[in-house]
Amino acid sequence: MQQPPVGAGTVSTHLARFLIDAVPGPDSGRLSLLSDLGPDVLRDDLARTSTQSLLTVWEQLVLTEPRTLIGPRILGNAPIGTFGVWDYLITSGPTLGQSLRRAVEHLASLGDPAAEQLLVEENGRSVVLRHATGSWGPDVVEAIDLFALALFLDRARAAVGRHLIPSYVTITHRPPARSRELTELFGTDRIMFGAPYNSIAFTEDDAHAPLPKAQPGLERLLVQHAELLLAASRPVLRWHDRFRMALATAFREDTVSLEKVARRLSLSPRTLQRRLCENGTTWREQVESIRQQHTLDLLRTTDLPLQSVAGRVGYSDARALRRAVRRWEGQTPGDIRSTARSTVPG
C-alpha cells in the first residue's frame, strides 16, 4: 500500500485555532480539555492536531447552530493570515488559476491531505475546483463541504482584489432551509444542489488574469517555506491515541468496522491490525474497550432507554447490554445510573 502523505491524519493549529474560536462560550472551553486542543498546543504553529479532534470541534459547531450554514458563516472572522502560509499561497501567485493549484498541492499546510480531496481542472470555459471530504456524519460533511467552497471563494476574491462571481457552484447536498443565504454568499443563483460532486468554477478570463499582488519569485519562496514548515511540524497525539479517537468517532457514527476505521487512518486493514499488535493489543480488544467506555458514558449522562443504548453500542438487545455491564462493573445498568445521579451536585 502507498505511504500516506505527510501530515495525514492531522491538521495545522491555524485551522484548529480558528474553528475552536468559532465555538461559542463554555462549549469552546470543554473542547480545550482534549489533549491536542489545549492552549499550549494551539499556540505552537509547528504542532499538528489530530483530524479526529477537529471533527469533534465540527460536531460541536453543528450542534450549536443546527440547520444553519455554519460552515460558510464563520468565515466572516478569517482575515488573510488566519490560515498561515496557505493563505499567502492562494492569494499571491501569478494568476488565480496557478494560485488555486498551489493551494491544492500544499493542502497539508492547512488541513489533512488524507481526508480532503481537492482537484483543479479546466474544461475550456472555466477553471473548476472540486472538493470532497471524508465519510463523517452527514451534518458534519455538509458543514465542511460548504466551508471549503466558501473558503476558496473568499480567498479567490482576496487574490483578485474584487467581488469575484463564480461561473457556477455545484453541491452534493440538498438545498438547505436557508439556501437564499448561499445565493447571496456566492453572488450567483447558478447553484446546483444534489450534484455528483462539490465544485466552484471561475471563468478562464478571471482565472488567467495576472493577480495584483503577484511578485516575481514570491510563489517559489512561499512554496519552499510551506514545505519547510511541514517538514518541521509534529503530531501531538501518539498513533495509538489517534486510533482510539478514530474508533470512538466510529461508534458515535455507527460505522464501526475494521475497514472503515483503517480508512480514516489512511491505512490498510492488515496494516492497522499489525500496528495494534505492535502496541500489544488487538482490534477486538480495542472495540470492546471503546464499547465499554461509550456504554458507561451513555448510562451516566443520558436517560435513553436501555434498548436505545444497546443499539448505539452494537448490542442486539437490552438483555445483552445488561450482561455486558454486569461483566464489566459487577452492577446493573440501573445501579450505574443511580450512582451517577447521586453524585451530581444538587
pLDDT at 346 over 60: no
Mean of the pLDDT values across residues 214-231? Answer: 94
pLDDT 10s digits, 241-280: 878 888 888 887 778 899 988 887 878 899 999 989 988 8
Confidence tier at 81 by pLDDT (50, 70, 90): very high
Higher pLDDT, 128 or 40: 128
Q: Give the chain's domains with CATH numbers.
A: 10-232 (3.90.1520), 239-342 (1.10.10.60)
Q: pLDDT value at position 27?
A: 65
Task: Give me the amino acid identity at 50.
Answer: S
How much is the mean pLDDT over the chain? 89
Residue 4: what pLDDT?
73
Beta strands in the chain (DSSP E): 10-12, 47-50, 117-122, 126-132, 168-171, 191-193, 198-203, 234-235
User: For residue range 288-344, what is the model confidence (pLDDT) as tens digits?
Assistant: 999 998 899 889 888 889 998 998 888 889 999 999 999 999 999 999 998 888 765
pLDDT of 283: 95
Starting at the edge strand found earlier in the chain, the sheet holding 126-132 runs 117-122, 126-132, 198-203, 168-171, 191-193
Return the minimum-mean-pLDDT range out of 33-42, 160-169, 298-307. Answer: 33-42
Cell numbers at residue 155, please?
480567498
Residues 177-220 pLDDT 10s: 777 889 999 999 999 999 999 999 999 999 999 999 889 899 99
Residue type, 265: L
pLDDT at 345: 52
